[in-house]
């Protein structure tokens, strides 16, 4: 986790750019999307100014993904759909989920979130601006890993839409879970502890499927299992996908409802 001085500087950086958002809003110089991009730029700078955050959110998922591809090539296990599932799980759990949770906890502790609520930015714009850097990093990482996957013996999928669906709804679940977890993370230093159950929910389901030919309903409730089942279906064109699709949609809806209920913009007293 980042140290308190680094987090304070990051919070000050975002706070300064909040004033830019207020001025731009008062003068009607930009749309809500433009304001969200200003916030996203602030969050990107805050991420890059934290060496530990760069290691955890930028380098670690790529290293784990590359290691998995090398291991699958040598053992002949966990290839194709299983490999795609594990790469997606690494990125979603470490970048989108854990990274966003840490950032949200830091911004709320520095009273940045409550100040953002007082600006002209709508809630959707605030959410987009806060998580956009992590979404961009996740897309770049998956693109890099997909580019090197053929060298590890991974073949092209038979159909692409399960991969797109898995990434879209997996990202939705990860972002919603990040906001929900941040509600119980009083300080950014505690994010490694509070995100552990969520990371296990992603990674545990994926690892469980490695020794199972098919996933049953109880296992599909775990987000990682549903995501991996979908990535498998991209390589096995005749495999039924509706159980994984249905459970992932239900999981996303339930996570969004939980987030709306528990998340607070101001620190808990």
pLDDT at 260 (0 to 100): 92
Query: What percentage of residues in the chain have a pLDDT greater than 90?
Result: 33
How is residue 252 written in tokens?
A: 């996303």
Q: Is 268 helix (H, G, I), strand (E, B) or coil?
A: coil
CB atoms within 10 A of CB 225: 27
pLDDT value at residue 29: 37
Q: What is the per-residue pLDDT for 1? A: 47
| Average pLDDT of the segment spanning 224-228 | 90
DSSP 186: S
Q: Is the pLDDT of residue 27 over 50?
A: no
Q: And the tokens for 172?
A: 């939705």
- Which SS3 state, helix, strand or coil, does residue 258 take? helix
Condensed to tens digits (0 to 9), the pLDDT of residues 35-55 reads 778 788 888 888 888 777 788
Average pLDDT along the chain: 83
pLDDT at position 122 is 85
Give the C-alpha separation, 164 to 172, whole Å: 12
- Burial class from Cβ neighbours inside 10 Å (0-12, 13-18, 19+) for residue 143 reads exposed
Domain range summary for the chain, segments of one domain joined by +: 4-262
18-22, 86-90, 129-133, 173-177: least confident range: 18-22
pTM: 0.84
Residue 23 pLDDT: 47
pLDDT, one tens digit per residue, over 166-188 is 999 999 999 999 999 999 998 88
Find the largest Cα–Cα distance for the chain.
Answer: 61
What is d(CA 54, CA 238) in angstroms, rounded to the nearest whole number? 40
State pLDDT tens for residues 66-81: 888 888 878 777 677 8
Residues 222 and 216 sit within 8 Å (Cβ to Cβ)? no
């Amino acid at each position: 986790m980042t140290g308190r001085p680094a987090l304070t500087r990051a919070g000050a950086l975002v706070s300064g750019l909040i004033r830019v958002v207020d001025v731009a809003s008062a003068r009607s110089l930009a749309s809500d999307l433009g304001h969200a991009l200003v916030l996203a730029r602030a969050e990107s700078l805050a991420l890059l100014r934290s060496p530990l955050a760069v290691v955890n959110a930028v380098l670690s998922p790529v290293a784990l993904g590359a290691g998995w591809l090398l291991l699958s090539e040598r053992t002949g296990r966990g290839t194709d759909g299983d490999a795609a599932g594990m790469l997606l799980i690494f990125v979603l759990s470490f970048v989108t989920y854990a990274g966003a949770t840490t950032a949200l906890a830091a911004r709320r502790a520095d009273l940045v979130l409550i100040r953002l609520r007082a600006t002209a930015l709508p809630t959707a714009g605030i959410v987009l601006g806060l998580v956009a850097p992590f979404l961009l990093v996740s897309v770049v990482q998956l693109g890099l890993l997909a580019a090197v996957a053929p060298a590890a013996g991974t073949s092209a999928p038979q159909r692409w839409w399960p991969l797109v669906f898995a990434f879209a709804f997996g990202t939705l679940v990860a972002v919603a879970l990040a906001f929900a977890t941040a509600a119980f993370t009083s300080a950014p230093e505690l994010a490694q502890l509070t995100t552990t159950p969520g990371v296990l929910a992603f990674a545990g389901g994926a690892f469980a499927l490695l020794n199972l030919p098919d996933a049953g309903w109880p296992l599909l409730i775990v987000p990682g299992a549903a995501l991996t089942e979908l990535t498998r279906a991209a390589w096995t064109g005749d495999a039924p996908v509706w159980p994984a699709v249905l459970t992932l949609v239900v999981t996303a809806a339930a996570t969004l409802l939980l987030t709306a209920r528990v998340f607070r913009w101001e620190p808990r007293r």
